[in-house]
Every structure is written in C-alpha cells, then in structure tokens.
Amino acid sequence: MNNLIKSLAISSLIIMKSFVMDAQQVVMEKPLVKKIEVTGSAEQEVLPDEIFVTISLREYFKDKDNKNKVDIMVLEKQLQKAVEEAGIPKENFTIGAMNGYREWWGKKKPTSFLESKSYILKVPNLYKIDGIISKVDEKGVNFTNIDRYEFSKIEQLRKDIKIKALQAAKEKAKYLLEGIGEQLGEAIDIIEIDNGYTPAPVYANVMMRSAKMDMAAEAMPESTIDVQKIKVRYEIKAIFKIK
C-alpha cells in the first residue's frame, strides 16, 4: 500500500514538472512586444450658427385706469412682420409658451386679464435682433434673452477633431522614437478619451432690449458683433509597436 502511494506521488511530481516546463516553453516562444503609449489631442473653435432667442410679449393698458388694452395679437403681428422683413424663414419662428394673469388695483377685485406669450426665434447670428425688436411696441416687449445656441454640423466636427487627435498621437510617438533611434510600427490599440465638449456660457454682445428701454422709432442698425465661440476638444490614447 505504501509503495502504491509512493508511486502515485512520484507520478504527480513528474506530471507537474512536465506542465511547468511546457508553460515556460510557451512563454519563451512568445517574445515581448516593444511598444509605446502616447496621448494626442486636438481642438477647434467655431461660431454657433443656430441661436435660439426668446422674445416675450405682454398685453398692457395704455391708460392707468385699465382702459385701452393693447391686445397680444396686435403685438404678435408686429413681431411676425418684423421677422418676415428680416428674411427669417417662417419655420424658425414659433410660440414657446403662453400664460396670463389678472391685474390688481388697490383693494378692488381684479377686473381685467392680461395675456403674455413668448416666442422662439432661431437665427444664424444676432445681427438683426435689435432691428426686429425695435419694430414692436416697446411697452409690449416684456423681455428677450438667448435660450441656447448650437452648431449644426457638430457631429462632423467631432469626427474631424478625433481624427486630428489620433494623428497627433501618431506624430508624437514617431518623433519620440526617432529621438532614440527607433522606428514606429503599427497601432496595437486606440482608446478614445471621452471628454467631449462643453460650450462656455454665451455672452450676447448685441444688446437685448426690454420694455423699460427706449427704442428709436426708425429701424435699428444691424450689429456686427458675434457671440462667444464653441470650443470642441478631444483626446485619443494610442499604443504603437516599436519596430
């Protein structure tokens, strides 16, 4: 019995030794790959070409005793006409919101209802906004502001910048290896660093007007100042073989 156990133990050791030798041989047969890992980046600034401006109109009374109300439809037609004269497509002018409220005068119960509407105007730039608003009854303009801004070809721009970032990574690896007398080989791995782009807050250099501001009756001149640009930046990590 003891001889049998001893024989089994010896056999197990032989098998284990054979396995270790085979594993070592596999490791030895697979040479280490020399490689270089680098990160490339690229960025670009573009002007927004889709700016969404909110214009709010509000009914009001010409007289203090709640008489001679200026209807919201009168104000809306003024704005609509100004938008058409500015050459802005009809589909770029839509209603954003609608609400109403009652006017209170002292201790008396409210006897009048005033309506307000906000409109969304999509424009390629802000050059004509002042001219448009100046053609609307100034007391009927509640406020204006920039709702958001976008770049219509952002997806293509992202692709272009990612390619430039990858090319920058390859160029970096190439000149680093040339500095030590080595040559760049094929790419082993490419990793996209998802940092995307975050537009900075837009600052409208074109003045946004309100009902409290005086507007000239004649047409306002067009401004030529643009909004802040959108910066798009990407980073790509790449691993290359060294020949």
Q: What is the pLDDT of residues 21-57, one digit of tens each?
A: 555 554 555 678 899 999 999 999 999 999 999 999 9
| CA pair distance 78, 14, nearest whole angstrom | 98
**pTM confidence score:** 0.66
* 3-class state of residue 41 by DSSP: strand
Q: What is the pLDDT of residue 209?
A: 43
Task: State what percent of residues in the chain have pLDDT above 90.
Answer: 55
Q: What is the pLDDT of residue 135?
A: 94
Q: How much is the average pLDDT of 96-102? A: 82
| CA pair distance 82, 135, nearest whole angstrom | 6
Q: What is the 3-state secondary structure (H, E, C) of 158-197?
A: HHHHHHHHHHHHHHHHHHHHHCCCCCEEEEEEEEEECCCC
Residues paired with residue 77 on neighbouring β-strands, in sequence order: none
Cα 86 to chain centroid distance, Å, stands at 27
- Residue ranges of domains in the chain, CATH in brackets: 48-152+201-208 (3.30.70)
Q: What is the pLDDT of residue 194?
A: 73
Whether the per-residue pLDDT at 99 is higher than 60: the answer is yes
Instruction: Give the helix/strand (H/E) hosting 63.
Output: none
Structure tokens, 109: 């119960």
Band the pLDDT of 203: cuts 50, 70, 90. Answer: very low
Band the pLDDT of 113: cuts 50, 70, 90. Answer: confident
| CA pair distance 100, 155, nearest whole angstrom | 40
First to last CA, the chain: 60
Q: What is the pLDDT of residues 128-164, one digit of tens each?
A: 899 999 999 999 999 999 988 899 999 999 999 999 9
Q: What is the pLDDT of residue 163?
A: 96
